[in-house]
Amino acid sequence: MPSSAEQSASAVAELSGVSVRKYTTGQVILDGIDWTVRAGEHWALLGPNGAGKTSVLRLVGATMHPTTGTVDVLGHRLGRVDMRELRARIGFVSSAQKVPLDETAHTVVLTGATGTIQPLWRKYDDATRQRAHELLAELELKELADRPYGVCSGGQRARILIARALIADPGLLLLDEPFNALDLPSREDLIDAMHRLAETRPALATVTVTHHLEELAPNIGHVLLLRDGRVQASGAAAEILTGAQMTACFGRPIEVVHHEGRWSARSARGGIRS
């Protein structure tokens, strides 16, 4: 068993007693959140709309501060570190990200090295440009290097954004509903890509926000359930993704099935898939 010091050292993100309130109204967004993500762990962040998922992601993504409590990310405490420098070490992927639609896939990946929307050509040396090509190849997008991002499919765009996030070699990768609006083949391509990344980058920690259990890759080993800004349950996926836990979190009967490494869920009353 690792010592407490070793466990603390391996923490990639740690929230302790974290609460977030709106200054204007006093509304409680998060209340007493304790959560730790360690190197090499892959987490799913689940919960109903308004549960606080986005706020948790913003905290570990170093884009907001807690009202109370402490947030440590990649060894730095929010409030005691330059947030811009810290964000440069965190990969972020969202279908709502702003990227230049008319630039090629290769160029979009390059912008991840500078954390900018538009390319800063003088900042990219030959090694960085080659690294962008290698990431596209790794994500099975080599043939799209010269294709404008705007004409790529939704699934291709998602994988391009992952390559963009990885070019800075982050220790933490955050994925905010990366499967949004993807068709079935594109979804499965992205799931396969995430599973490969987990195998080739054993130290990389990931957090994926999604509404659908079917979108969880087999490498997802941990789950955080949020409800009304509080932790409903947290731990190993096999212990958290149960009908009882999901029913308590979402407030309606839910059946959960685990088959060959993949999860699915549906309403116990015969409703549509969650």
**pLDDT over threshold 80, residue 163:** yes
The predicted pLDDT at position 97 comes to: 87
The predicted pLDDT at position 120 comes to: 94
Proportion of the chain above pLDDT 90, given as a percent: 84
Instruction: Give the chain's mean pLDDT.
Output: 91
Mean predicted confidence (pLDDT) in 57-81: 95
pLDDT band at 273 (very low <50, low <70, confident <90, very high): very low
The predicted pLDDT at position 138 comes to: 94
Number of helical H runs and strand E runs in the chain: 9, 12
More confident residue, 273 or 67: 67
Kindly report, residue by residue over 114-128, the tens digit of the pLDDT: 999 999 999 999 999
Q: What is the CA radius of gyration of the chain?
A: 19
- Range in 20-29, 81-90, 200-209 with the lowest mean pLDDT: 20-29
Residue 251 backbone zone (phi > 0: left; psi -120 to 50: alpha; other: beta): left
User: What is the separation of C-alpha 2 from the centre of its chain, rounded to a whole number of angstroms?
Assistant: 26
**Are the beta carbons of 167 and 132 closer than 8 angstroms?**
yes
More confident residue, 269 or 237: 237
Tokens coding 43: 């987490």
pLDDT band at 9 (very low <50, low <70, confident <90, very high): low
